[in-house]
Every structure is written in structure tokens, then in C-alpha cells.
Amino acid sequence: MPAAQAKYQDEPVPRKPGRPPSAKKQLQDYTNYEFTEADLVVGLSDPMWRLNSLYYVINEQKEKVIFRVRPVQKDLLENMHTRNVVLKARKEGISTAIQLLMLDTAMFSPNVRGVIIAQDIDKAQAIFRDVIKFSYDSLPEVLKSHIELESSPSKSTITFANPLGNSILEVRVSGRGLTPTICHISEFGKIAAQDPAKAEEIVTGTISSLAEDGIIFVESTAEGQAGKFFDMVETARRLQESGKPLWKLDFKFFFYGWWQNPAYVMPAHMATLTTEDIEYFDDLESKIPVKLSPEAKAWHHKFRSATFAGDWEMMNREHPGTPDEAFKVSMEGAYFKDQFRQLRKDKRIGLCPYDDMYPVSVFYDLGANDKTALWLCQARRTYYAMIGYIEESGEPFSYFVHKLDSLGYTYDWHYLPHDGTHRRQGATVNLTPCEMLSSVAPYYRVMPIEKTPDKRIPIQQARILLGQCVFDEKNCAVGLKHLESYRKAWSQRSGTWSDLPRHDDSSNAADAFLQMAQAKALGLFSAVGNLNSANGTAFGSEFIEDVQLGF
């Protein structure tokens, strides 16, 4: 194990005074283990031996078995940094390995403050009951008699007495007020997707309070292209790709895909691969260092078909083959999930440059969080060409006017939201946003859009509009990411998705697009001819043959 962990693993095991256990008791203790007392004495100084030999767990078949370190777990344990972010497929055993490492560290080292952060209190108590306490209770009595507890474990905390300083391992939903020396944040992607405020609290209250030389693992499956976990993964990936050395406060990136689990196989003759399967496996093999076996391919096809009814998005999220595959899909609760699936199927995200035959309409959102977002659109004969997206925080209208004018486009109307008519305090005079924009660019035609009484109405209008749009992939990249991530708020009380949108980093881009949908529905914005179906599946020949699209 790395030097970062040595301080927790190399301390001598504190011995409880008194006579050693009887030979009869020792014999009882070892009947279910594959080692002798002599092996135990030698092995106790080796953390990897302890992890591979001492701890019982419940496996996937609900059987009580000795925990054995799998290849992906071994890779993480041998290559871990002080801070680690792990993107993974399900059932790789990463969480169990981390939690047993924390239990082992607390048992055999003094002054450990181990904290496991879970999504909610029920999940936290389940981790403590099913992994921490179960593994400790299953240890040989001869060993437990030499590792004394300070007190009886609660539902969430276990404390080990140590003459050099007690060690505590606890499971919580927040680590604020603590200074953990080793920490595990479980399923952070799910937390960040469903409760951004809680994710923010974990970052500020737990990660920020970690001891400077402490060890932390942040692990999860993917939950869309937004949120604290996504940002953490992307930052760590960029640092990894740069080849720069890691500092102790940098996060090291780990990824473990479905193809790394040796259990994910089945008889090849029991699955008939489709053309889509074959294309997927060919593409995956070009990106990974192994050749997939027929049995592994059969498992992937059968699991996706039987478990997810053939849904590729769910399979990619729960059992990704690459990091990009994990984040390729929109998360649960996303408003425009079906529309983006159709956009990609129809290849309507690609090259869509400015056409000087058509003026450009600009749709604004003036965010309450001080972020302004703009969509640039051309209404062409049979589709809406989304040729650009601009966003910035804390900038005046003059900044956006300069950006727009520098593009050299011919503009039609500039559409502002309903609060564009609300007066705001200025240095010498109170102006509305519409007046502010007109004062900076008097040659702009500015139009406010009335507020809708029900946010669900423009959302549905936007779903229809998406079926009629083509996006320039490069110039709209940031906006597309936000638009695809726009989703419902999660209700902690009911455990369901709310009818109303969640306000987060994606809201401004989505609200600006909703302005366009409302303007179109109100007849304030040019309609295209030959309108398509709501799902965007019936385009006219002009759309298919437009050479400027580059498809």
C-alpha cells in the first residue's frame, strides 16, 4: 500500500493484558478460516493479508464468505492517492473494499477518525449493519479479545480502545464538525443529481474538513453531465491526461468498467447479438486494453435486454464500458431525455453554421444567480438552426452586445424574459433590462416575453420545439450540456420527482430555450414551414438534403 496509508497501518496492534485464550477456544476460532494461529501472528502486520483473510462479508448470492480482494479492488488499494474519485460500474465491490479498509485501519491504528457518508440515514445504517458491524462481529474471538472496544457499537458508530489514542469509525449523512483522517463518500453521483444542496454541503462540510494528510474516496456510478460528482470526475480526468504530478489535495481518477468484472459472463450460445451490439463491442474494444470474450459480450446483451428492456441509456449509466460512456446519457428526471435521444438518432447535432440568407434571433435568460444565457437561432425553411450559445456571470449588457456584434451576424429580434420590463436600481436612473440593452445597442430590436402562469407549459412547448431543431455541436456545446441536464426537482419527503424544475447550473440555458418555445407558441417568432412531429421524426426533403448541415 502507498506511503499515504502507512501511518494508519504500521502501528503495532495494542494487546489487551491478560492470559492468552485457551487452545480449545483458539481451535474453535480457526475452524472457518484458512489460516492457523501462526499464520495469523505473521499476517497481522500485513494490511493486504488482513483484508484477504480476516473479514467475512455477504456476497451477491447472499452467502457468508471470506472477503477476497478482486483485481479492480486490488488496483485501487495499491494505487490510491490521498484523494481519490472513482467512477465505476455496479457490483464491482469498490464500496465494500473501501469500507473494510476503513474498518481495518480503525482496528489496527490509533487516532483514526473514519467517516462514511451515505445518501440518507437508512442507507448509512445499512452500511454500518451489513458491512462494518457484520465483519467485526464475525472476526475470531481470539482476535477480538486483543482489539478492545471502548463501548458497545451503536447503529452508526464503533470505537476501538487504543492506548495510543482511540479510533472511531462512523456512518453519517454529513461530516460537518468533524476532521476525518479517512473518509468514504458513497454514491456521490446519485446525491449530487437528486439533492445539489446536500452535495454542496458534503463538499464544504466533509471534504473541506478532511485532515490535510487524510485519505478520501469519492465513488459512484454516473448520473448525467452535471453536478458536483461530474465536475470532480472531469477535473481529475483532465489532470490525469495532462501527466502532471499530483499534489496531496488533488483528486486521482479511477475508472472500473463492466468488462473488468470476471463474473460478467454467460454461455455465448444463449445470446444472439444484434448489429447494434456488434457495433458497440467493436467501438469499445478500440478504447480498452483487452479483447472481449464471446461470453462477456453475451452477458452484456442479455443483461441489457432482460434487466433494462434493451435500454442502452440505463445500461451505459449502470454498467459503462468507458468514462465517456458513463456520462453520455441524461439522468433520471431529465425533461428532454426522449427528445435528445431522437436528436442523436436523427443526427441533428453536428455541423450547422451561420447562413447569411437568414437573420438571427437571440433569446435571453437573466438569471437570478447573476448568470446570463443566450441562444442564437435562425428560422430556416424547414427547421430551426441553433447556431450558437453564450453564457457568462457578472457581465453587463455591453459585454454581450460586443460578443454578438463581433460575430458579424445580421440580427432580427432580441427576446428577453418577462422580468426584462422590471425596473432595476442604477447609479443615477432606474432602468428595465430592456431599456438597458437598448441604451447600449439602440439598433437592436428588443421584445419582452410574457410570464407563463405554469412552468410546465413552456417545458412542453420546448419538447415540441426540440423536434424541429438542428444544433451546431461546437458552438452550442455548453448549452446542449445544460439543456440535456435540465431536470425535475427531487422531493426528499415523498422520494419522487417533483412536477417543477430544479434550479441549478443548467437552469439559465434551459430558461433561455424556453423563451424561444414561448415566443414561437405566442406567434412572436418566425415559424418554419413543413413543421415536423413533436418527436422530430418527419423532416422534409430540404432538411435531409441541406448540404450545409454536413451530415
Tens digit of pLDDT for each residue in 329-379? Answer: 545 678 898 898 899 889 999 999 999 999 999 999 986 556 899 999 999
pLDDT tens-digit map of 251-282: 999 999 999 999 999 999 999 999 999 999 99
- In a shared domain, residues 305 and 353: no
The pLDDT value recorded for residue 65 is 92
- In a shared domain, residues 252 and 272: no
CA pair distance 447, 340, nearest whole angstrom: 29
Q: What range defines the domain where residue 241 resides?
A: 22-256
- Which residues pair with residue 149 across a beta bridge? 160
Instruction: Using the 3D structure, point to which of 238, 256, 274 is the last residue of a domain.
Output: 256
- In a shared domain, residues 251 and 308: no
- In a shared domain, residues 309 and 274: yes
- In a shared domain, residues 382 and 497: yes
Q: What percentage of the chain reaches a pLDDT higher than 90?
A: 56
The pLDDT value recorded for residue 214 is 94
For residue 326, being part of any structural domain is answered with no
The pLDDT value recorded for residue 297 is 97
Tell whether the torsion through CA atoms of 329, 334, 336 and 338 is positive or negative: positive
CATH number at residue 74: 3.40.50.300
Q: Is the distance from CB of 397 to CB of 407 less than 8 angstroms? A: no
- In a shared domain, residues 435 and 463: yes
The pLDDT value recorded for residue 16 is 38
Q: Is the distance from CB of 401 to CB of 490 less than 8 angstroms? A: no
Q: Which three cell numbers stand for residue 220?
A: 459512484
- In a shared domain, residues 177 and 286: no
CATH number at residue 420: 3.30.420.280
The pLDDT value recorded for residue 130 is 94
The pLDDT value recorded for residue 524 is 87
The pLDDT value recorded for residue 108 is 93
pLDDT tens-digit map of 473-514: 999 999 998 998 888 887 666 667 777 788 888 899 999 999
Give the strand order in the sheet containing 215-220: 157-160, 167-172, 113-117, 182-186, 215-220, 83-88, 251-256
Q: Is the distance from CB of 55 to CB of 103 less than 8 angstroms? A: yes
Q: Nearest Cα to 128, choosing from 162, 92, 103? A: 103
The pLDDT value recorded for residue 327 is 82
For residue 340, being part of any structural domain is answered with no
The count of C-alpha atoms lying within 13 angstroms of the C-alpha of 116, restricted to the half-sphere facing its C-beta, is 31
Q: Which residues have a Cβ under 8 Å from the Cβ of 541 and sit 6 or more positions away?
A: none
Higher pLDDT, 42 or 374: 374
- In a shared domain, residues 193 and 241: yes
Predicted structure pTM score:
0.65
Q: Nearest Cα to 92, choosing from 254, 328, 236? A: 254
Phi, psi of 133 (to 5 degrees): -70, -40
For residue 325, being part of any structural domain is answered with no
For residue 163, being part of any structural domain is answered with yes
- In a shared domain, residues 59 and 157: yes
Q: Nearest Cα to 301, choosing from 329, 276, 328? A: 276
Q: Is the distance from CB of 208 to CB of 238 less than 8 angstroms? A: no
The pLDDT value recorded for residue 529 is 54
List strand residue ranges (DSSP E) for 462-510, in order: 469-472, 488-491, 496-501
pLDDT tens-digit map of 16-34: 333 334 333 343 444 467 7
In the chain, the number of structural domains is: 3
Confidence class for position 456, pLDDT limits 50, 70, 90: confident
- In a shared domain, residues 282 and 366: no
The answer on pLDDT for 521 being more than 70 is: yes
- In a shared domain, residues 298 and 250: no
The answer on pLDDT for 6 being more than 80 is: no
pLDDT tens-digit map of 179-208: 999 999 999 998 988 888 899 999 999 999
- Angle at which helix 433-440 crosses helix 397-406, to 10 degrees, equals 50
Instruction: Using the 3D structure, point to which of 232, 256, 280 is the last residue of a domain.
Output: 256
For residue 223, being part of any structural domain is answered with yes
Higher pLDDT, 223 or 125: 125
Query: Mean pLDDT across the stretch 240-252?
Result: 92
For residue 139, being part of any structural domain is answered with yes
- In a shared domain, residues 240 and 294: no
Most confident of 229-233, 494-498, 527-531: 229-233
The pLDDT value recorded for residue 548 is 38
The answer on pLDDT for 394 being more than 90 is: no
CA 460 from centre of chain: 26
The pLDDT value recorded for residue 171 is 93
Amino acid at 244: K
List strand residue ranges (DSSP E) for 424-538, in order: 445-448, 469-472, 488-491, 496-501
For residue 324, being part of any structural domain is answered with no
Mean pLDDT of the chain: 84
Question: How would you label 257-290 residue by residue, b for 16+ Cβ within 10 Å and e otherwise?
Answer: bbbbbeebebeeeebeeeeebeebbeebeeeeee
For residue 379, being part of any structural domain is answered with yes
Confidence class for position 430, pLDDT limits 50, 70, 90: low
Alpha helices in 31-120 (DSSP H): 37-43, 47-53, 71-79, 94-108
